[in-house]
Chain A
């Protein structure tokens, strides 16, 4: 049996018709009624339901399912995009297109030396109209940029997540591994796994518009190419013999999810069903599973540090005193270090044997999600602040609602800052306080355009972001 092969969207040869057929299928599915499980509306709502969306009987079982901040993030989305691919492929075939249509992936992390366009949005997605003047169904509301250039930096497309050795980690205050924290059915709230955090969340926010909110993201046709790439990265990670998916039955078979296949017939799956891509519905493979390249990403000592496992029980070493409200420019917060913990003996100095994390706890708010550069400064040392990483608030509004799985406790984000422990004086133990700087990144600009048919369902423009961080913690492990 032959399987569908998912190819790099930028590697498709001139004259390739994959995206042309994709656009025609999307147009056809857009015309189906909202309660048709093969329709564009229904399939998008399976991920999340926009605020003023029509209600249907099947909602409770099929809609609003997307798993975020969870170890089900990767397997749930694998089943979701396979189901979507089946529907599109079925439609392409019935429109007279190829029988083996497969979803392409957008590899924005590809080395720019190999493909200078890698970080640009592929051109068929960019314009509201096709060259013949009719509507382009691959267009969606996104940030207004020139030539598909969203300004994705080395940091944003970094594949440092691929260095995580473990799939999950349950210690509160520590990073939750490559794939995300142990949860039940979780629509969002808590910690993202490393791959989910970056590039996944950060790219969602950089594209902007629908992509910026989990309740509308899957209505943008480029969502599927983004997630196809995330799925490919999981497949690449798990091909490494040193990496393993969870073996807990809670993950393998503990939670099942319901979707529809290409014919619109319901089926359900668990994480275990998602481990062999050739056995999922029609079955699929990736054109290449290359060893991941990290363009300008983690320095060698960083990588080594990430791979190093630590066994200790996390210890709070410093914390901010009051909640931090993020402003439109840089927000500075003093994190008071606790001398009892910070003045550890040299044999267990942070950075040598202990790991150091910066945790943003209880990230809550409303409005459009944002990306923020997080920097740390040692007050009075006359040195430039060090970079902790990128805070992405993708999904914060939804995770702040009282009916969210954690009652609206919001998101958490943990940065491994072990590599900076010496620079910040943490290794010497005489640091009284750190200053954390949180600065909005480019994605603050407005998104643009409401696709016809969605007027009244989504707001004209993005709501401005209101974000509060409950506490900023320094944690030694």
Chain B
């Protein structure tokens, strides 16, 4: 409305809509969208994933032997710190864009001088929980990939992993957790109590996000989905959060299509 009025008066369109400019200036988007953008750039610039190993040994005689071999190859190729750093970037890139509304809500209900501190503490609690989970993801990804590839081929493993991801996507338990994750806690208006509340709220929020998203991220990693796969997952998860009546079947189908696409391409 106001943007249109401006255009009519000045005769030219404003470069940045004033509403959008104001939205960018508040701590919510400032501390979420900008770091996420930076993380995406870094991820795109990085040469290869550090725990994204292809196993191309000749198939051993037994499944157990195959698992052992695949696991050993994975572990040998694993560089823990780069892998964790990559995980951190992935979390910042994929999860922070989901936090714009949440941080905006939190920031609006604390005193202005406390806003930056509270939002950063909230995000620290949130990202901290994710980073701790990262260790688990690296191990789970390696184990799942080694396990799958020891019973099925590389391509079948990708499909199996994404199939499992799709099943989790439509699981009613996951949908309940998703609703619960939208909870907006009331924290104190300022001071130490606000910081404490923000840290707890951030970690709690991460808990629900982890339960709903982590298996999907592991599935995508096992399937070696790469940057495209992560981008797809991010879009699906954002869309799901925007619709308060999620229709997960479509998203699950897309995951499976993506599996076929990446195998065939």
- B26's partner among A186, A313, A316 (CB-CB below 8 A) is A313
Residue A338 CB within 8 A of the other chain: yes
Q: Identify whether the interface residues of B are mostly helix, strand, loop, or mixed.
A: loop
Per-position contact with A for B112-156: 1 when CB-CB < 8 Å, else 0? Answer: 110000000000000000000000000000000000000000000
Interface positions of B from 172 to 215, Cβ below 8 Å from A: 176, 179-186, 188-190
Contacting pair B109 A404 (CB below 8 A): no
Contacting pair A316 B245 (CB below 8 A): no
Contacting pair A316 B186 (CB below 8 A): no
Considering only CB atoms, which chain A residue lies closest to B183 in the complex?
A: A407
**With known contacts A186-B244, A406-B182, A173–B109 Cβ distance under 8 A:** yes
Contacting pair B180 A184 (CB below 8 A): no
Contacting pair A409 B189 (CB below 8 A): no
**With known contacts A402-B180, A407-B183, A185–B189 Cβ distance under 8 A:** no
Per-position contact with A for B3-31: 1 when CB-CB < 8 Å, else 0? Answer: 00000000000000000001000100000
The size class of the interface chain A forms with chain B is 20 to 34
Contacting pair B189 A172 (CB below 8 A): no
Per-position contact with A for B83-126: 1 when CB-CB < 8 Å, else 0? Answer: 00000000000000000000011001111110000000000000
In the complex, chain A residues whose CB is within 8 Å of the CB of B185: 409
- A338's partner among B111, B181, B182 (CB-CB below 8 A) is B111
Cα–Cα distance between A266 and B176 once the two chains are bound (Å): 28
In the complex, chain B residues whose CB is within 8 Å of the CB of A183: 244
In the complex, chain A residues whose CB is within 8 Å of the CB of B181: 407
Per-position contact with B for A395-412: 1 when CB-CB < 8 Å, else 0? Answer: 000000011111111000
**With known contacts A313-B22, A361-B109, A406–B183 Cβ distance under 8 A:** yes
**With known contacts A405-B182, A406-B183, A172–B108 Cβ distance under 8 A:** yes
Contacting pair B245 A185 (CB below 8 A): yes
Please give the distance in Å from A355's CB to the nearest CB on chain B.
15
Residue A179 CB within 8 A of the other chain: no
Cα–Cα distance between A404 and B179 once the two chains are bound (Å): 6
**With known contacts A319-B189, A340-B111, A403–B180 Cβ distance under 8 A:** yes
Cα–Cα distance between A407 and B186 once the two chains are bound (Å): 13
19 contacts between A and B (CB under 8 A): A172-B105, A172-B108, A185-B243, A316-B110, A316-B111, A316-B112, A319-B188, A338-B189, A341-B112, A362-B184, A362-B186, A404-B179, A405-B244, A407-B179, A408-B183, A470-B186, A471-B109, A471-B189, A473-B109
Interface residues of A (CB under 8 A from B): 166, 171-173, 183-187, 244, 313-316, 319, 321, 323, 338, 340-341, 361-362, 402-409, 470-471, 473
- Which 9 A-B residue pairings sit nearest by Cβ, starting from the closest? A470-B186, A407-B183, A172-B108, A319-B189, A185-B245, A405-B244, A407-B182, A409-B184, A362-B186
Interface residues of B (CB under 8 A from A): 1, 22, 26, 104-105, 108-113, 176, 179-186, 188-190, 242-245
